[in-house]
Amino acid sequence: MVKKSAPQGEEKKRRTERILLRIPIEVTGTGADGKPISEKTYTLVINRHGARIRLKRAVRPNDQVTITNPRTKMACPFRIVAKATDLLSEGPEWGVECLEPDVNFWGINFPGKTSSSVAEEVIDALLECSKCRSRELAQLALADYRTLVSQSALSRQCEKCGAATDWVFAFVEAEAEEAVPNQPTQTTSAPESETGAERRRAKRVTVKLPVRIRLADQREEVARTENLSTTGVCFASTLAMNEGELIRLTVGYSPGSNEAEITARVVWRRRIDGTNRALYGVRLEQV
């Protein structure tokens, strides 16, 4: 029997879809020790109204900081929500909430969060206009998603351009010109032995596809991918899996579909605060 996970805790409170996305930022304000802070860092997860960020200096919940986004050249006040359990083990992480919610601080258009199940054929994908570089977490019909995959572009209306333009997948990592100084590599699935060419080929895109996860003991669940590449997948699941464990995945799963089941190996696991789920990064054994 296939199990479908239900949102809990912070999942219920979130007003828009989240994206695991690195955006370089600068944080200024006052630290927990009362001294000024000014730190160049980056986001780990964002949604329309807030983010989870890495911050070396300690701050206090409910304190206010100013975050500057070099991509949009915008600065906004944010409230420190709470210190979070490390999602990616890269240092202290904090949840922050934008105090100007009507401002598109991240430069990404987010759809409203829906209650649709993972089985419905609506796919969220982070896209970028090839002309003006506007970004949007688009909700695509299955036919449009297949067109995007097969043709590497999808014609859709761009509000900024005022015309129909070609939209392409936007990469999860910051582009070279936006790179964060001393930013560690997030190893979703890429092994250390990969060459530069292989790493470029394995660039991750944000696509929230239904994925069936099946374990050796026959437990299984239908979840959604957070991002994926040609060599790996990241997803959240209530199933308990260990690093190094072999699992079977059907990416793009729907009942009765002919999508192939592939073998993958769990590379890392991180618990998600306030839920019974964990975030997993897996490497595909068959590319």
Is pLDDT above 60 for 118?
no
Q: Where residue 275 falls among pLDDT bands split at 50, 70, 90?
A: confident
* Confidence band of 222 (pLDDT split at 50, 70, 90): very high
pLDDT band at 119 (very low <50, low <70, confident <90, very high): very low
For the chain, percent of residues with pLDDT exceeding 70: 78
Predicted local confidence at residue 148, as pLDDT = 94
pLDDT value at 142 more than 60: yes
Rounded Cα distance, 251 and 258, in Å:
11
Pick from 12-16, 92-96, 98-102: least confident: 12-16
What does the mean pLDDT of the chain come to? 82
Residue-level pLDDT at 88:
58
pLDDT in tens, 157-182: 999 999 999 999 998 765 433 333 33
Between CA 202 and CA 177 the distance in angstroms is 19
What are the extents of the domains in the chain? 24-98, 108-169
Give the mean model confidence (pLDDT) for residues 235-253: 94
Q: What is the pLDDT of residues 26-84, one digit of tens each?
A: 999 999 999 999 999 999 999 999 999 999 999 999 999 999 998 888 999 999 999 88
For residue 181, what pLDDT is reported? 36
Judge whether residue 239 has pLDDT over 50. yes
Per-residue b/e over 160-171, b at no fewer than 16 CB within 10 Å?
eeeeebbbebbb
CATH 2.40.10.220 for domain 24-98: yes
- What is the value of pTM for the model shown? 0.76
- Sign of the torsion angle spanned by Cα atoms 101, 107, 112, 116: negative
Q: What is the mean pLDDT of residues 262-280?
A: 89
